[in-house]
Chains A and B, each alone.
Chain A
């Protein structure tokens, strides 16, 4: 094999690309050829020479100087990092926001038509002209009676609460109401009523 080809083999050897057979071939040639031996020695010396370059260090305040040059964090970034650092407050804020949102939506989304919710709709008498829901004398309503945008005139028996939202509750002397009677006319009353409801719903769960 010619020395020119051997030089290529030497480079492959220096890159760690030669197999055992090629290595033996190379060693054999180098033992017999002084110029190739010299060439390989010089290449190895060149590598060692570059590797001897001492490892220098950047000035100690480098990191601080780079950090000082970073663009200022945006408001959004500051806000999101605050949120990350205070997960509990974030959760509480989100909860409150959604709660007030849904309560307000219930309040503001109403229309002005008379709405009645009760378990025994058939027993109620609804007077659309006067906007009054009448519980006739001698009838008995199971559960709560909730009326929106109208008054309630209770003459009979209600086995639950009577609530008039945006209206009044009239209780006749013949009436019997097992629960409470309530008239709700302002938004704070409404919120209080909703919160109380949540409380009442939760209470049975608690021991």
Chain B
């Protein structure tokens, strides 16, 4: 896997768009997932994911491939999410057309899964609770909890991504777990 990514990043560095498209395919869901759990809505999350890949492309020349590509891209995405949280995001309406003139609004984009209506409600409630619990964490704990338990990364990799020592990561995970625990006790 690492070898494949190394080849792809080298090709993308030389301006090969097909290689870059393959890198997007490998990482788009992971990055979108991280962004979605950080900001809590699809539109902002897609914007962040898109911005992440555009930044990756613009900075490929400065990427040092002795580091893992995943570490680098997660770092860019995490920073974008935290920056986005600092700014007040512009209001967004579901009635807005996704692309001008296409006649599609954001309701049509909302995913529909193949479950029965009851299942859907239950799943959706659970998902909303997860999202709600996460959104009550401070961004610096939220990002690390997402990287650890949703993206399933090791402590070492998280430490590389946020450029903080492992002991700090552990402290944040401990506090994040405690915060989630007390949040869930109330539900």
* Dominant secondary structure of chain B at its interface with chain A: helix
Residues in A with CB closer than 8 Å to B82 are none
How far in angstroms is the closest Cβ of chain B from A86?
A: 15
- Nearest-neighbour CB distance to chain B for A147, whole angstroms, equals 52
Residue in A closest to B131 when the chains form the complex, CB atoms: A53
Q: Tell me which residues across on chain B come within 8 A of A55, comparing CB atoms.
A: 29, 33
Residues of B within 8 A of A14 (CB): 177
CA distance A53 to B134 in the complex (A): 10
Of the residues B29, B129, B131, contact of A57 by C-beta under 8 Å:
B29
Give the number of residues in A that approach B within 8 Å (Cβ atoms): 34
14 CB-based A-B contacts, threshold 8 Å: A11-B177, A15-B155, A42-B181, A47-B177, A49-B180, A50-B145, A56-B42, A57-B29, A59-B46, A62-B32, A62-B49, A63-B21, A77-B15, A81-B15
Q: 1/0 per position for A75-119, CB-CB distance to B under 8 A? A: 001001100000000000000000000000000000000000000
Which B residues touch A51, using CB under 8 A?
149-150
Q: List B contacts of A67 (CB < 8 A).
A: 17, 20-21, 24
Contacts of B149 in A (CB 8 A): 47, 50-51
Q: Which of A11, A14, A77 has the most CB of B within 10 A?
A: A11
Which single member of A50, A71, A81 contacts B130 (CB below 8 Å)?
A50
Question: How many of chain B's residues touch chain A, expressed as a range?
Answer: 35 or more
CA distance A55 to B25 in the complex (A): 16
Q: How far is the CA of A44 from the CA of B184 in the complex (A)?
A: 11
B162 within 8 A of A: no
Which chain A positions have C-beta within 8 A of B134?
50, 53
